[in-house]
Amino acid sequence: MMCVLQQDQTGHEPQHAAEPWSATTHFGPVARTGGVPLMDIVERYGTPAYVVDETDVRERCRAFRAALPDADILYAAKAFLCRAMATWIRQEGLGLDVCSGGELAIARSVGFPAERIVFHGNAKTPQELVEAVDYGVGRIVVDNLAEIPRLAVLIPPGQRQKVLLRVVPDIAAGAHAAIRTGGEGQKFGLSIASGDAAAAVARVLRQPELELVGLHCHLGSQIRAGEPYEQAARIMIEQLARIRDTYGIVLPELDLGGGQGIAYLESEHGLAPDEYARTVVKALEERCAALDLPVPRLTVEPGRSIVGPAGLTLYRVIAVKRTLTRIFVAVDGGMSDNPRPSLYGARYTARLIGRRSAMAAREVTLVGHHCEAGDVIAESVPLPADIRPGDVIAVPATGAYHHSMASTYNLTGRPPVIAVADGAARVVVRREEIDDLLRRDVGL
């Protein structure tokens, strides 16, 4: 389905929106993304709807490649994946970081090159390991000791599977405790302190079916400063040096994961690829020189920082309710299409589109239509005082961990994903209808 750009008749130049809006989003006289008026999308595809700016996605892929020309850039599929997204990533020359059989299936369905895929997961099922080996993925990240023999027996005779070991550098970084994955006491990785990391190295080296090519770590998500990555780089280089000193081998690869943060509010700024690159490359080079170790080939796994700012969500206002202490603006979506506020206390901004208002803004609580008190999309968000039912609200920075974490709570179908670029819009993931939900219910 296509929605063709309607040209402005006013002659005014569009006003570009800054972070947290996507690169091609403009306001005034008509709100548009990718050259497509957002109200055209509302009228054709309904609300709620996710909108993904293809141009923005591609530009962010290129920014990472330009900042780290000698590194392997893998897009973290868990942020958002569909066939269109996998195709854009492939066309931009990035690899793909998958962490489930479903994500691998999407990659396979578009012919994503197997050698550019890395398979993650702290508890990969036996079937997922079979599928990864069958497709010939480039790397499998080993996350626990039990996985080593389980993987080794799956490798066909005469072949070897390249693996990375995910180790815990014990660095706490990330916007919320639930998304900090680089410290002791959480489920991911092999602990350096406990000796599991060292034991995993020894066990992999004893498996002729497995080829240990490097180490991996991931600190967490929504990290907006370079210092944690600098610390991780130094710690990981020290681990590579210990492996060299113990076994006389130099592992050629180091994967520092992803987690680079983005802006969700106008007052925030994300961690730019060039800033990240300067910090990490300097740390790698300095620590390698001090330990007389060759600089390993770097791999990074941005997800949110590629697709997060490229997305926005469109909602229709259903009701405005004034209490003694608050004003609630209720819309036709909510925690089923954006669970992040209820999970992590994430904050968002919002903007009225589709009509102009001369009224001053006042702070409201933007809420969803689900039967939960915690169904809040944005707290203390400024919207015009005359906001009313029927208005349309746009919420930015919803490209990552929205569609991928969406649910059917209250038997609400998930919204469609509309890709926009060069003045045209198309459905890349259709709306989930009640018939889709009923088909899964096989009856008594």
SS (H, E, C) the chain: CEEECCCCCCCCCCEECCCCCCCCCEECCCCEECCEEHHHHHHHHCCCEEEEEHHHHHHHHHHHHHHCCCCEEEEEHHHCCCHHHHHHHHHCCCEEEECCHHHHHHHHHCCCCHHHEEECCCCCCHHHHHHHHHHCCCEEEECCCCHHHHHHCCCCCCCCEEEEEEEECCCCCCCCHHHECCCCCCCCCEECCCCHHHHHHHHHHCCCCEEEEEEECCCECCECCCHHHHHHHHHHHHHHHHHHHHHCCCCCEEECCCCECCCCCCCCCCCCHHHHHHHHHHHHHHHHHHCCCCCCEEEECCCHHHHCCCEEEEEEEEEEEECCCCEEEEECCCCCCCCHHHHHCCCCCCEEECCCCCCCEEEEEEECCCCCCCCEEEEEEEEECCCCCCCEEEEECCCCCCCCCCCCHHHCCCCCEEEEECCEEEEEECCCCHHHHHHHCCCC
Catalytic residue among 82, 99, 288, 371: 371
Nearest to 46 by CA among 391, 315, 389: 315
Active site residue 371: yes
Name the residues annotated as catalytic: 371
